Amino acid sequence: MGASKQLLTTKEFAERSGLPVSKVTKFLRDGRLKGQKQSGKWMIPASELETYAAPADPPPKPRAREAEASPAATAPGTGQTLSVAAFSAMTYLTERGVRNWLKAGNLKGRQAENGEWQVDAASLEDPQVKRLIR
């Protein structure tokens, strides 16, 4: 198999790049590294080693969910709201998890007329949520 078509696991990529496995996984989730899941495991093209500059954090690329999301609040407590997708992208909660937390009262928010949930940006300051921020 040629180097351009060779796929590496996160562990193999981490060993070759000098990054911790957790950082490689985070870069994959953030879209900073190209990769795909195969049988539940991330597989990264070996060519990403060549294009990956250095262990320093490159600037984050917006995720697809963030690009489609409504404008996000950056300052909690300003009365601004976040869409479920934007809140999910900022935390380790899935969109379904965010909606469940809203319904259970673990997050502050409201349901718009069209049925879409909006999460109060102030929820990011809640200790339960702070530990889930990416």
pLDDT score for 43: 94
Does residue 132 register a pLDDT over 60?
yes
End-to-end CA distance of the chain: 36
Q: Tokens standing for 107?
A: 């997050």
Q: pLDDT tens across 82-99, in order?
A: 888 888 888 888 888 888
Higher pLDDT pick, 10 / 126: 10
The span from the CA of 51 to the CA of 43, in Å, is 16
pLDDT score for 68: 45
Q: pLDDT tens across 45-79, in order?
A: 988 887 664 445 555 555 554 444 444 444 444 57
pTM over 0.75: no
Residue with the two structure tokens 């976040």: 82
